[in-house]
Amino acid sequence: MTIIKINAITVPADSGDELGSRFAARRHSMEGTEGFEGFELLEPTDDRTTWLVITRWASEEAFESWRTSRGFQNSHSGGESDSVEPPKKPVGMSAELWSYTTSVTG
C-alpha cells in the first residue's frame, strides 16, 4: 500500500516561481532514499497561491525515517550543511501536511 504525503505550501503571489526553481534544483536529492517512490510539485493554474508537493512512500515508517534524517534537516533548513552560501529564507508563508493512502488506482 502506497502512503501519500501532501505538503500544501502557501506562498506570496510573486514567489511561486522561486518555489518551483528550488524544487527543480533539488529534484534528484531524494534518489536512493529508502521507501521513497516519487514526487510531484503541483503549481496552481488559477489565482490560488498554494502549491502541492505530493510524495509517495512504501510505508509510514519510511516517511518518518526520512523526516527524522539529516537529509531532511538539511533540505528544510535553507541549505546544505557544507554549503558556503548563507541559508535561503523559506519561500512559503505556511505549510500543512496531509496524509493519504491509495484507495483505487486506474
Question: pLDDT tens digit string along 18-42?
Answer: 999 999 998 888 999 999 999 999 9
Question: pLDDT tens digit string along 57-83?
Answer: 999 999 999 999 988 887 777 555 455
Whether 33 is covered by a domain: the verdict is: yes
Whether 53 is covered by a domain: the verdict is: yes
Q: Which strands make up the sheet holding 36-42, listed edge to edge?
A: 36-42, 50-57, 3-10, 94-101
Total domains present in the chain: 1
Question: What is the rounded CA–CA span in Å between residue 20 and residue 34?
Answer: 25
Give the CATH number of the domain where residue 82 resides: 3.30.70.100
- Which three cell numbers, joined as nine digits, stand for 38? 516519487
- Whether the pTM exceeds 0.75: the reply is yes
Whether 106 is covered by a domain: the verdict is: no
The three-class DSSP label of residue 103 is coil
Per this entry, what is the length of the chain? 106
Positive or negative: CA dihedral 99, 77, 51, 36? negative
